Each structure stands twice: as structure tokens, then as C-alpha cells.
Amino acid sequence: MPLLVSFKGAGNALTGKYYLLILLILAFALPLALFAAERHIMKPRVPAERLAEARALSSPLPDSPDTVEEGQHLYEGKGTCFNCHGYTGNGAGPVAAELNPAPRNFHDREFWRQRTEGEIFWAIKHGVTGTSMIGFGDQLSDKEIWSILQYLRKFADE
């Protein structure tokens, strides 16, 4: 009988150890996963060799209601941006669920903190390699892209 008890005791101690291990793994895995997701957003989408050139670009357009209105018109029309990024800019457009990586959510302030307007312009014009974000340089003029960018900013203000 005492042997049985001690066996049981050993069993419990072992399970206890595993519990601790599992808890430890969970405790580390969660922040790591969050960190990885965060780093993913922070990683520039412009290729390293074009980054300096992209960051030097700045908008020639005024932040006027006319520019924003023109941008919205293109975002919801010719640009087709709403299909993936959504009418409300939250990255959940009609076809978004089928896309990996997911379309950018323009309400995410971290995104705006991590990018210059030049980088964002560059990504819209040339696209992001390896994703469904194609370059729109053929369909949209530079001026049109800058006006869309001015509209995108408004999503982050909400």
C-alpha cells in the first residue's frame, strides 16, 4: 500500500511538472506570436534597394477636401481598392477572406507610424511582391495615387 501511494505521488509530481511546462510554453508563445505579428507590419514592403528613393517622395497635393473627395472616388471606383481593403478601410473587403496575407487595415495607427507617405505611395504604385497587392502604376496616375493616399489617411483619424 505505501508503495502504491508513493507511485501515485510520483505520478502527480510528473503531471505537475508537465502542467508547469505547458504553462511556461503558453506564457512565452503568446507574446512571441504577438511580437511576430507586430514585426510583420513593421517590416517595410518596399525592397531594401528602393527604400531610400521611396522615402524621399512626398505628396505634391494639398490636404484639401477636394483631394480627399477625389481619392475616395478612385478608392471606391477605378482603383478597386475597396474590394480588398473594404469601404470602411478596415481591411475586410468582399474578397479579403480569401487573401493571405490579409489586406492592410488603414485604421491601424501603428501602420501609419511605421511608414513614410513616400513608402505608401511606392507600394500602391509598384505593389507588394508575393501578395495580392498588385502595383497600380498602370491604371492610376501619380496624382491619382497621391489623392487616394490622402483619403486613406482619413481612416486613421476615425
Interface residue list for ligand HEC (CB under 6 A): 45, 79-81, 83-85, 99, 101, 103-104, 115, 119-120, 123-124, 128, 131-133, 136, 148
Residue 151: C-alpha distances to residues 21, 81, 95, 146 (Å): 49, 12, 21, 9
Least Å distance, CB 130 to ligand HEC, is 8
Which C-beta is closer to ligand HEC: that of 70 or that of 115? 115
Picking from 116, 117, 94, 91, the residue whose alpha carbon sits closest to that of residue 104 is 91
Which C-beta is closer to ligand HEC: that of 5 or that of 40? 40
**C-alpha torsion 75→80→85→88, nearest 10:** 40
Residue 116: C-alpha distances to residues 54, 94, 120, 124 (Å): 9, 28, 7, 13
Least Å distance, CB 75 to ligand HEC, is 6
Which C-beta is closer to ligand HEC: that of 15 or that of 139? 139
Which C-beta is closer to ligand HEC: that of 17 or that of 78? 78
Least Å distance, CB 138 to ligand HEC, is 11
Gap between the Cα atoms of 91 and 96, Å rounded: 7
Least Å distance, CB 38 to ligand HEC, is 13
